[in-house]
Every structure is written in C-alpha cells, then in structure tokens.
C-alpha cells in the first residue's frame, strides 16, 4: 500500500522504516523536497522509499500519518493541503507540546487544554478521517508493541467508525498491538495528549522512554 508520512523526525523515521520492512511504499514529507534527513532515510531504505514535500507525501499516501512537531502541525498540514487529505485516513501521532522553556514541556494552552490538536486538525480538515493514536508512547514502541513486556495499551480516538476499525487492524497486524482502547470520538484526543504530557514525567522517573500504561478497570 502507498503511505505518506508527514515528518522527518524520529517518529517519521521509525514509522516509515517499519512500513518499508512490511513491504509498503512510503513517501516521507517535509517542508522542502531536499530535506537532508529524508534524503538519508531514502538512501538507507531502498526502492520503495521516496521523499518530497508535505504535499507530495500527502498526495502519495492512501493513508497519511501526521508525525510533525505538534506546535506546528497545523502549519505543516496547511502545506500538505486539504485536497491532498480529503477522504483519507489521517493518523495523528502528534502532541501539542511546548519545549521552549526546556524539560519537562507544557501543553500549548491554545491547543492542548480546552481543546486538543487532534480536534483542531479534524476541524481544519473536515473531509479527512482523523484518527488520533500512538501518541502516548515512545516511537520505537509505537511500531513494535512487544518491545515492552506484558499487556499494555494504545488509545484510539476519532469520529469515523470505519476509519477507526481500519486503524485498529493496522495497529494489530502491522505494529503488534494486542490491547487497543477506543476512547470515543476525536474530542477524547484531549485525554491522550495529556497522557503524553504525563509520559514526560514517567520518562524522568525511569530515565528512559521505555514505559507505557495499562488501564485496569
Ligand atoms: N519522539 C517520540 O517518541 C514521540 C512519541 C509520541 C508522540 N510524538 C509526537 O510525534 C511528533 C513528531 O515527533 P518527532 O520527535 O519525530 O519530530 P519533531 O522534531 O517534533 O517534528 C519534526 C517535524 O516537524 C516539522 N516542522 C518543524 N517546524 C516546522 C514548521 N515551522 N512548520 C512546519 N513543519 C515544521 C519538521 O519539518 P522538516 O521535515 O521540514 O524539518 C519535521 O518534519 C511530535 O508531535 C511529537 O510530540 C513523539
């Protein structure tokens, strides 16, 4: 399948590389068509890997992942353009964190407190099927749930039931997730973005990003 990855950071690289390993065609997008990290990633990942602008990647993908810095995801998606996203599943992995005052970060008030980045993306692109997921764990764990022992959870939030069902298949079949917690519509992104912020403190406690949560009810 053809997949567009918006983002050249560690998340974009982790997801893109896993998808190539699984046999998919992946185009990684950035602000420019000559991004050094994307060029290097393509060199290392063979003929099914390509790169271009955010718009090139969004046009290419039958499914698109948003792996851009949360503070600027809305700008990055504007560069991709609504016509390139309309009708597609847009898997949103981003978190609206402000690292400008160092660690730990805070949530950006206009995006992460009374609303969420997931909701704002869905509002800005009403024809895209936004599914927020994978934003509450480290990028290596996102694409390989078995890196952590035992049973642990990934959350899914979104308005479109069919899109969420497809994303749940992807989480299970491609990334090995066994425990998927469907929190509800896209407004529940608020909770997962706050969990992601809590994760920055878990990182501090453990001294490593290799942690996740298990919901016990
Ligand atoms: N790191 C993790 O393990 C982890 C875990 C959970 C969730 N997340 C979330 O996943 C997302 C990606 O994280 P990351 O660490 O891989 O990368 P990142 O450094 O947060 O983001 C890199 C991407 O943001 C784009 N970007 C930066 N400034 C921009 C601007 N002014 N306008 C448009 N785009 C801009 C960059 O574009 P260029 O390619 O052009 O440079 C690049 O593609 C973040 O939202 C993060 O909160 C990360």
Number of Cβ atoms within 10 Å of the Cβ of 110: 10
**Gap from CA of 70 to ligand 1 centroid (Å):** 7
Average pLDDT over residues 15-26: 99
Average pLDDT over residues 162-180: 98
Share of the chain above pLDDT 90, in %: 99
pTM given for the model: 0.99
The residue behind tokens 């929190």 is: 183
**Concatenated DSSP letters of the chain:** -EEEEE--SHHHHHHHHHHHHTT-EEEEEESSTT-HHHHHHHHHH-TTEEEEEHHHHHHH-SEEEE-S-GGGHHHHHHHH-HHHHTTSEEEE----EE-TT-SS-EE-HHHHTSS-HHHHHHHH-TTSEEEEESTTS-HHHHT-GGGS-S--EEEEEES-HHHHHHHHHHHHHTT---EEEEEESGGGHHHHHHHHHHHHHHHHHHTSS--------
Q: How confident is the model at residue 32 (pLDDT cuts 50, 70, 90)?
A: very high
- Round to whole Å and give the CA distance between 89 and 109: 27
- Among 4, 8, 9, 200, name the best residue to mutate to test ligand 1's pocket (greatest count of ligand atoms within 8 A of Cβ): 9
- The pLDDT of residue 63 is 99
Ligand 1 atom closest to the Cα of residue 71 is: 45
Q: How confident is the model at residue 90 (pLDDT cuts 50, 70, 90)?
A: very high
pLDDT tens digits, one per residue of 119-157: 999 999 999 999 999 999 999 999 999 999 999 999 999
Closest CA to 214 of 138, 143, 119, 137: 137
Is the CB of residue 75 below 6 angstroms from any atom belonging to ligand 1? yes
**Gap from CA of 92 to ligand 1 centroid (Å):** 12
66 forms beta bridges with 6, 92
């Amino acid at each position: 399948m053809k997949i567009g990855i918006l983002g050249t950071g560690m998340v974009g690289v982790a997801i893109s590389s896993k998808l190539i390993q699984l046999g998919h065609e992946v185009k990684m997008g950035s602000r420019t068509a000559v991004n050094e990290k994307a060029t290097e990633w393509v060199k290392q990942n063979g003929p099914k890997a390509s790169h271009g602008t955010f718009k090139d990647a969004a046009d290419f993908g039958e499914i698109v992942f948003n792996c851009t810095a949360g503070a600027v995801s809305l700008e990055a998606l504007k560069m991709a353009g609504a016509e390139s996203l309309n009708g597609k599943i847009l898997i949103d992995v981003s978190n609206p964190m402000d690292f400008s005052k160092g660690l730990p970060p805070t949530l950006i008030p206009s995006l992460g407190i009374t609303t969420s980045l997931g909701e704002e993306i869905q509002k800005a692109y009403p024809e895209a099927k936004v599914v927020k997921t994978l934003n509450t764990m480290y990028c290596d764990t996102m694409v390989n749930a078995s890196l952590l022992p035992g049973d642990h959870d990934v959350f899914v939030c979104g308005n479109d039931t069919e899109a969420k069902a497809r994303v749940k298949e992807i989480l299970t079949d491609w990334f090995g997730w066994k425990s998927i917690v469907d929190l509800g519509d896209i407004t529940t992104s608020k909770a997962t973005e706050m969990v992601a912020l809590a994760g920055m403190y878990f990182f501090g406690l453990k001294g490593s990003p290799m942690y996740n949560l298990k919901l016990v009810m």
